[in-house]
Structure 1
Amino acid sequence: MEHIQSTINDIINEIKDTNRMTNLEKPQSNDHMNNNEVDMSQLVQSIMSCTSVQQFINNNTNALDVNDMTAKMSSSTLSDVDVLSMISRHTDHTREVPYDVDLQVRRIDTDMAKLTDIKRQIEECFKLTIVSSTELGQGPGEFDGCIMSVRLDGCSYLELDGAKWTQMNGAFERQLRGVSTSVVYARGSVYVFGGLDAPTKYTRYALENKKCIHGDITGINGGEGIAACYDGDKLIYLVGGYDETTDRYFNRVDTFNIETQLFQCVGHLPVKHVFMAQAYFHNDHLLVVGSDIGVVSLNPQTEVFSQLVPPPSKPYFASCFDGEDNIYILSHSLFTRYTLSSNKSTSLAKLNATSVSAIAPCYPMHYVESYGIIYLGGRGRNHRYALNEGKWIMLNDNDHVQDRDCFGTCLISKQRRRLGKGKGKGKGKG
Structure 2
Amino acid sequence: MTMKCANHQRSFEFICYQCNCLMCSKCIFKHSKDHPDHADKMEDIDDIKHSLSTLKLDDIIDTTTTTNNHINNDSDNNSNSNDSTNDNNCTNNSNSFKSQINNKLKSLWESLRSSTSRYQRLSTTENEIKQHFEQLHQYLIIEEKKLNKDIINDKHTITNQIDNNVNHLKYLINIINIFNKLNNINNSDDNDSGNGDNSNNEDKSIITDTTTLYSTKTIMESITTSSSLQSFINHNNQTLFNEYNNYFNIDELLKQDSSDSSSLLLDIIHKYNNQFNESTTNTDNNNLRLSSYKLSIKQPDFNQLNSIIKQSIKLDLIKSTESPINTTTTTTNNNDNKQSYIFTTHRLKGATLINTSNNNSIEELKFDYQFNGTYNSIVSIGEYIYVFGGAYNRNKWIKISMKSKSIEHIGATEGIKGDQNISVCYDGQDHIYLVNGVNINNRIDRFNIKTMKFESYHQLSDVYGEQVSSIIFKGSLYSVSYNQNKLFQFDLTNRTITDHQIDIKPYSGCHDNNGNFFILDMTNKRFIKYNVETKQTINLNADHLL
Q: Tell me the TM-score range normalised by the shorter chain.
A: 0.3 to 0.5
State the TM-score, normalizing by the size of structure 2.
0.35
Task: Give the number of the structure whose residues are more often helix, by fraction.
Answer: 2
Q: Which has the higher contact order (CA 8 A, sep 6+)?
A: 1
- After TM superposition, the score normalised by the length of structure 1 is 0.45
